[in-house]
Amino acid sequence: MEAHCLGGFREVGRSAVYIKTDRGVIFDYGTKVETGEAPLFPKLRTTDLFITHGHLDHLGSSAYLFRKTHCNVYTTAATSDYLDLLLRDALKVAKLRDLPIRYSPTDIVALRRSIKKINYGDSIKLSPSTKVEVWDAGHIPGSALYVLNSQGKKILYTGDFKLEPTRVVAGARFDVESPDVLFTECTYSNREHPPRQEAEKQLYAAIKNTIDNGGIALLPVYAVRAPEILMILNQFGADWPIYLDGMAKDATNIALAHPEFVRDIDELHDAAENAIQLYENEERNNAIREPCVILTTGAAMEGGPIVHYMKQLYTREDCAIIFTGYQIPKTAGRYLLDTGQYILGAINLKVKMKILSFDFSAHAGRSELLKFIQKVSPQKVVCMHGDYCEKFATEVKSRFGIDAIAPKNGDVIRI
């Protein structure tokens, strides 16, 4: 058996691993969001693609791979809905930003039609000697981690995961012991996340403070993150207008449509009912006449309704822009966070609003990663999806005495 490292090795973005058995199985086929880069194209025949979850760095190039290979595609129902939303939006963004375009709307439709929907606990038989188990990765609604069993070997591929629960999902649940190889994300191998409850309290206080002072709390969110923020606001008893805009609306509706992937669907329903959905600039301008909180895409501030709000609010010292997710380097959001300047195309604004950032990561923190590796007890660890993969591999090796590596894109691992 062989594993081909196609993307997401020693980097975050465009995750993809090809496993050669009697089948040609690929786990994830993402895009590097900042540059639009796809993973390497598989050198051997691809028979099956398993998508872990609804983020572009894991599925952004899947429509392209499908058009080229017509492989079987497996994922959960929630991920299938996120895929449609994200791939359509990525096409728009690619056109605006002059990024490479590798698929068409027709390819998205064809891909979605062919998706075989799977559930946690399923075991998918690909051939008499090869099967793939599906487990809950605890990252976002519908996120899965996969175990490939073939030719007497067991390979665990995590995608992105989190052991601790969030408001929306219950944390990873799996029954996997001693795989021959573990492909693990290590996004936060270098640091811990603050306790969730603390982060929630601080976020709520910052929003409340802004509104009490007559301002507007503007939250540029990743679409899939919106339900969690809504639930926090609801839980703490927010009694001011809450608006939902851009793809944050669609992603919330997708989570509501898949109760089987949400920790407490009644709580999410309650929270979503309190939020008002906005569609037109006139509605947006009316909304910001009074103190309120607005959750909108794009999280990286590279497009979407957030741009309109920034143009209206950037001079107001009583307002706050509040980040709740990782800001990708070289994006407008990251630049604003680092410098206080909002630059996007011809837009160049010196922002007077308060700029705040809170850690609501849906990834395992450092000690969760170590705990996970110890629990799973693999023969070999392959570190990927991180900026410090080599350092983490060295640490895993010395701490647990397990063979651990951090290969490069293009490397082949013999199993």
Binding site for Zn ion (CB under 5 A): 55, 57, 160
Query: Other CB atoms closer than 10 Å to residue 402's CB: what's the count?
Result: 17
Pull the structure tokens for residue 144.
């899965």
Which residues share a beta bridge with 9?
none
CB of 336 to Zn ion, least distance (A): 22
Q: Which is nearer to Zn ion, 16 or 313 (CB)?
A: 16
Compute φ and ψ for 290, nearest 5 degrees: -120, 155
Is the bond preceding residue 365 a cis peptide, omega within 30 degrees?
no
Q: How many CB atoms lie within 10 A of CB 167?
A: 21
Q: Least distance from C-beta 188 to Zn ion, angstroms?
A: 11
How many CA atoms lie within 13 Å of 118's alpha carbon, on the beta-carbon side? 27
Provide the minimum distance between the beta carbon of 392 and Zn ion in the complex, in angstroms, as a whole number.
16
Nearest to 161 by CA among 182, 180, 131, 130: 182
Residue closer to Zn ion by CB (options 20, 32) is 32
- At its nearest, how many Å lie between Zn ion and the CB of residue 56? 9
Give the CB-side neighbour count of residue 19, counting CA atoms within 13 A: 30
- We find the least distance from the C-beta atom of residue 159 to Zn ion, in angstroms, to be 7
Distance CA 213, CA 223 (A): 28
Closer by beta carbon to Zn ion, 215 or else 227: 227
Distance of closest approach, residue 364 Cβ to Zn ion, in angstroms: 11
Query: Min. distance of Cβ 139 from Zn ion in angstroms?
Result: 6
Specify the residue, 57 or 359, whose C-beta has the smaller distance to Zn ion. 57
- Nearest by Cα to 155 from 365, 414, 389: 414
Distance CA 321, CA 289 (A): 17
By beta-carbon proximity to Zn ion, the closer residue of 55 and 193 is 55
Q: Which two three-digit tokens encode residue 240?
A: 């001011």
Where do we find the tokens 């709520």? 204
Nearer to Zn ion, 186 or 405 (CB): 186
Nearer to Zn ion, 159 or 305 (CB): 159
